[in-house]
């Protein structure tokens, strides 16, 4: 029987609200047997839930969603099936999260200077020791009633160019490719249609060594799915997919809406042997 996968999921180790166990249980309820928890710049969920997943016959694939920069744009690159004990990945992600945390506190300072009375301790608590980011700051703003929703916090204050926005450090594509390939892993371009000028950028990312394109994602429409399915085939790359669920941190919960047949993601499963 064909098994199905969701290769793009977030937990409280980045900006999702669910625990790794909740994600695993919910995935199983939706008939998914292969799961990759791809927290932003963090692989803590893997260690937390590996044994639990094993006991429930869920194949857990090591994963993370790397915050990369390319040509001035924020590009998210999914990394899969790398050696989780690779010291360079561990060290690099740890340093990266420290930088993220300093940026988080700096955004809180900006907001406080603008009259928004939110506390750095609360934001740290919401980030729960994971990869602190704008969504945690946004939640603190919602809690205090300054904005009605996370979306409004981004629109008014935290979005690119807005008053409390601070640029984030990013991995270069070359660094991400080297880091993950050296650790035996593979990379996929997350939600390819979310980048400005993606029709130019996506092929360039493949040239730079990215192995796959995430064509199954709630934000990728049918037309672009076909476009990028064909591009991947033409370039000898493969395709991946996932729901990008963040629990209740996003307007809609998407877990279960994307199911990728295992036959499509052979290159990843082979690395798991």
Which residues of this chain interact with ligand AMP, rule CB under 6 A?
Answer: 15, 40, 67, 133-135, 150-151, 154, 168
Q: How far is the CB of 159 from ligand AMP (least distance, A)?
A: 6
Q: Report CA-CA distances (Å) from 59 to 27, 198, 248.
A: 11, 32, 25
| Part in contact with Fe ion (CB under 5 A); list of ranges 13-21, 89-97, 98-106, 203-211 | 13-21
Among 76, 136, 237, 259, binds Fe ion (CB under 5 A): 76
Q: Which does 6 bind (CB under 5 to 8 A by kind): Zn ion, Fe ion, ligand AMP, none?
A: none
Does residue number 15 form part of the binding site for Fe ion (CB under 5 A)? yes
Residue 230's Cβ-count burial label (10 Å; 0-12, 13-18, 19+) is exposed
Does residue number 39 form part of the binding site for Zn ion (CB under 5 A)? no
Tell me how many residues contact Zn ion (CB under 5 A): 2
CB of 191 or CB of 259, closer to ligand AMP: 191
Which residues between 217 and 246 bind Zn ion (CB under 5 A)?
Answer: 244
CB of 151 or CB of 256, closer to ligand AMP: 151
State the residue number with the nearest CB to ligand AMP: 133
Q: How far is the CB of 38 from ligand AMP (least distance, A)?
A: 11
Residue the block writes with tokens 């033409």:
234
Q: How far is the CB of 121 from Zn ion (least distance, A)?
A: 26
Q: Which does 18 bind (CB under 5 to 8 A by kind): ligand AMP, Fe ion, Zn ion, none?
A: none
Does residue number 225 form part of the binding site for Fe ion (CB under 5 A)? no
């Amino acid at each position: 029987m064909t098994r199905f996968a969701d290769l793009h999921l977030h937990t409280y180790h980045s900006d999702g609200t669910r625990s790794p166990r909740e994600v695993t249980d919910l995935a199983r309820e939706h008939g998914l047997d292969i799961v990759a928890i791809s927290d932003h710049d963090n692989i803590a969920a893997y260690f937390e839930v590996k044994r639990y997943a094993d006991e429930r016959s869920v194949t857990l694939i090591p994963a993370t969603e790397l915050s990369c920069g390319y040509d001035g744009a924020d590009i998210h690159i999914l990394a899969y099936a790398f050696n989780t004990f690779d010291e360079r990945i561990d060290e690099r992600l740890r340093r990266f999260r420290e930088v993220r945390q300093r940026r988080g506190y700096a955004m809180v300072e900006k907001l406080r200077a603008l009259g928004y009375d939110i506390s750095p301790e609360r934001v740290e608590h919401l980030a729960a020791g994971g990869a602190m980011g704008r969504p945690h700051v946004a939640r603190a703003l919602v809690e205090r009633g300054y904005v009605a929703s996370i979306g409004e916090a981004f629109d008014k204050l935290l979005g690119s160019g807005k008053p409390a926005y601070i640029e984030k450090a990013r991995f270069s594509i070359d660094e991400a490719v080297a880091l993950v390939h050296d650790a035996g892993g593979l990379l996929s371009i997350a939600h390819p249609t979310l980048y400005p000028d993606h029709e130019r950028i996506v092929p360039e990312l493949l040239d730079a060594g990215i192995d796959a394109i995430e064509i199954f994602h709630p934000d990728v429409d049918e037309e672009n799915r076909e476009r990028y399915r064909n591009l991947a085939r033409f370039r000898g790359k493969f395709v991946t997919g996932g729901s990008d669920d963040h629990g209740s941190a996003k307007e809609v919960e998407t877990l279960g809406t994307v199911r990728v047949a295992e036959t499509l993601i052979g290159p990843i499963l082979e690395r798991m042997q």
